[in-house]
Structure 1
Amino acid sequence: MGHRIHSVAYRDPQTILIVDDDEINRGILDNIFADDYQVEEAENGRIGLEKILDTPEKYCAVLLDVMMPEMDGLETLRHLKHEELLDEIPVFLITAEANDAVMKEAYRMGVMDVISKPVIPYVVMRRINSVVELFRARRSLSNQVMAQQSELLRQAEQIIRLNRGMIEGLATAIEFRSAESGDHVRRIHDITRYMLKYTEWGEGMEDYDIEQIAQASIMHDIGKIAIPDAVLNKPGRLTPEEFEIMKTHTVQGEQLLEKIPELKENLAYEYAKDIARHHHERWDGRGYPDGLKGDEISPWAQIVSLADVYDALSCKRIYKDAFPREKVVEMIRDGSCGVFNPRLLDAFFSVEDEIAKMYDANGKEDAK
């Protein structure tokens, strides 16, 4: 992994490193750049490389001789390329051996320029200054882009949190209106997510899709907002006519979601529409509103349907007391509350012990 020069201490590096075994040559180059830069010297490639690797963010340019003892200029270049530093620090070869083979190899590795000895001061100053300024401008632009990207990401995350909060608030408000705890939607979310992540029912699904489905699940009963209080909060059994009204919350939920343009931009939207309409369909085709059968029902609508039944049986409602856990499991297994996909039931019962732990004293109302 290469080094990076965007450190706090040297955000705008001002030091040129001269690597040359000839003290006179180092002195000439030092004299050229001393008025405008801090200058450091190294007497061979190995020493120069150690300086660069120790604080790469410090250097705005490296002037590198080719013929040196211990480590020559091309070998030093190879190490800098391996460390991915040639894109961060401009390196110039200063050499009397500027033959085609040396130049070709140097440019292939990423050297910025090859300058022949003896150097002409105003020429070498102009060529190096131009590249240093180019790197500074690129670094500044990169920092601005990174800052802008960071701010855009922060704003996007804020919008996502706001959207999620609004959706959860609406779903919870509907639960309170139907005299139920807002914990219901949280548990449906958690059961849906747990089964998709930890059973074969979610096999092949990406984590991102699982999170979107779990988010969509909390809107499964959003259509209840259109159901009259007299039906929604009736303490006893519904009449056939009242039950027909109650059943419309599925279609009403889908239609409501379609009428909120902002929700369409939420990535959970399509899942939410399908779940709202179809979470009361049953595997044997005896559900509603469309009488879908078998795999005509989407996997996410099936799982929310089962989670909804499990939670309804496990918790006290205005029209019933909570059933003991053993009774809940028995009723789901024998089809007392509708027929479910056998594979879904296998997946559910494989983790039901863990799901039951969600129903503790703080997360459940009067559950047994």
Structure 2
Amino acid sequence: MEKQKDKILIVDDVELNRAILCELFAGDYEILEADNGKTAVELMQQYHEEIAIVLMDIVMPIMNGLEALEIMNAKGLTEKTPIFLITAESSNDAISKGFRLGVVDVVLKPFNPDNICQRVNNIIELYRYRYKLENLVQEQMNKIEKQNEQLRNFNVAMIDTLSTIVEFRDCESGQHVQRIRQLTKIMLKELGRQNAEYKMSDKTIEDISMAAALHDIGKIAIPDYILNKPGRLTAEEFAIMKEHTLYGCEILESIDSLKQNKEQYRYHYNICRWHHEKWDGSGYPDGLIGKEIPIYAQIVALADCYDALTSVRCYKGAFTHEESVKMIEKGECGAFSPDLLQCFLKIAPSLPEILQSDDGLPAVVYHYQHPNTEKFSGKKCYSCDMDKNSRVARLLEIEREK
């Protein structure tokens, strides 16, 4: 069992910046500070097993952040520790090099403390989930040689864990994957009843429904600023978002235990790659048309569309069930198979009762006031009111006088 990491390393040559970040996280973590890259490397060598995350500037004396990151990578110090760049350096070359060196996110100065807290805590939890999963994989792989049933049980647990990670990153409420599973199963059964061409065994339906849980696993590789953007994506951002279908396939290819069951792996792979394809060929990533798209991938696409419409997302409110059904029927969400659309419209009246909705959870709104004002405000805030004698207040007063 990996030791719980309880330290954050803050690397910045400006003491005020370190002080602000220190006060944000001091309540939950022990803080290590460095004012240059060389000291940061030394602290990483000493404490890397205990450091949960590194928040590092780029432009610093003695050794800059990118030079320090290169050394950390060469020494294998960043394999299990996420690195955030918090910097005023906004050149594409520097930021691109940071990502090539394994940086998980870049925050430009001046930064919003609330946003940093949210993003840092999300990444820390994501890494904890990731290594919890790796430990589970290692433990189970020693047993699956003797019993195939143990392998299947492990796969179910792994899929649940991976889908939970995706929901955590995507700021979902926790029920999205369960609803997709349920919708997929309902439509597979109903479509088989309506048309013998699509009739499947109960085991196949169960396998496909399980595979539906990982349809968005590739979103793990999409940057937070795109994944949780509250407004419309730009063309460039949408192009990056579309890559999640291909990233997901790469992730699935790396899971050897899934590939041992070739048929089930095929369901996972095809759903992950093609759940955004459209009947008329307008989808992505491959622009498949009509029956070139496996029927089960079409079903997951429709289930995902319905749940997205009826759920609150960071970029939209929830449509009513009736509005969502009409939008799908009129083709406002893209083209679907006529057979599948007929199946969906037949079961649509019963969906609100069947599915468990997580709507009604209070939205959390974050506000930030400059530290020179009296206090932080909002429904939730990660920092207490500023004490006049606090380190940040003292340093701000020095800066004001300068």
* Distance in 2, Cα, partners of 1:188 & 1:204: 20
| Structure 2 match to 1:277 | 273
* Distance in 2, Cα, partners of 1:156 & 1:237: 46
Q: CA deviation at 1:168?
A: 1.2
* Distance in 1, Cα, partners of 2:175 & 2:310: 13
Task: Choose which of 228, 234, 252 in structure 1 pairs with 2:247.
Answer: 252
| Structure 1 match to 2:345 | 349
CA displacement, residues 178-220 of structure 1 (integer Å, 9 cap, x when unaligned): 1012211111111111111233367421111111111111110
Task: Choose which of 189, 192, 211 in structure 1 pairs with 2:184.
Answer: 192
* Distance in 1, Cα, partners of 2:255 & 2:208: 19
CA displacement, residues 218-259 of structure 1 (integer Å, 9 cap, x when unaligned): 110000011011111111111110000000000111111112
* Distance in 1, Cα, partners of 2:337 & 2:358: 26
Counterpart amino acid of 2:257? E
Flag as ranges the 4+ runs of structure 1 deviating above 3 A: 154-159
* Distance in 1, Cα, partners of 2:201 & 2:355: 27
Task: Choose which of 171, 182, 188 in structure 1 pairs with 2:174.
Answer: 182
| Structure 2 match to 1:325 | 321
TM-score, normalization by structure 1: 0.55
| Structure 1 match to 2:332 | 336
Q: CA deviation at 1:319?
A: 0.8
| Counterpart contact for 1:187–1:358, Cα < 8 Å | no
Task: Choose which of 223, 227, 230 in structure 2 pairs with 1:228.
Answer: 223
The equivalences for 1:46-65 within 5 A come to none
* Distance in 1, Cα, partners of 2:344 & 2:236: 33
| Structure 2 match to 1:364 | 358
Q: CA deviation at 1:155?
A: 4.7
The equivalences for 1:1-368 within 5 A come to 155-199=147-191, 200=194, 203-266=198-261, 267-360=263-356, 363-366=357-360
Count of aligned pairs: 215
* Distance in 2, Cα, partners of 1:308 & 1:233: 17
TM-score, normalization by structure 2: 0.51
- Identical amino acids, percent of aligned pairs: 51
| Structure 2 match to 1:23 | none
| Structure 2 unmatched ranges of 5 or more | 1-143, 362-402
* Distance in 2, Cα, partners of 1:207 & 1:181: 29
| Counterpart contact for 2:216–2:248, Cα < 8 Å | yes
Counterpart amino acid of 1:182? G
Counterpart amino acid of 1:314? T
Counterpart amino acid of 2:283? G
* Distance in 2, Cα, partners of 1:366 & 1:283: 34
CA displacement, residues 19-58 of structure 1 (integer Å, 9 cap, x when unaligned): xxxxxxxxxxxxxxxxxxxxxxxxxxxxxxxxxxxxxxxx
CA displacement, residues 321-343 of structure 1 (integer Å, 9 cap, x when unaligned): 11011110111011111111111
Counterpart amino acid of 1:295? K
Counterpart amino acid of 2:333? C
Counterpart amino acid of 2:181? H
* Distance in 2, Cα, partners of 1:321 & 1:235: 11
| Structure 1 unmatched ranges of 5 or more | 1-151
| Structure 2 match to 1:3 | none
| Counterpart contact for 1:173–1:182, Cα < 8 Å | no
* Distance in 1, Cα, partners of 2:195 & 2:171: 32
CA displacement, residues 116-160 of structure 1 (integer Å, 9 cap, x when unaligned): xxxxxxxxxxxxxxxxxxxxxxxxxxxxxxxxxxxx9x9543432
- How large is the RMSD of aligned CA atoms in angstroms? 2.2
* Distance in 1, Cα, partners of 2:226 & 2:195: 35
* Distance in 1, Cα, partners of 2:148 & 2:257: 15
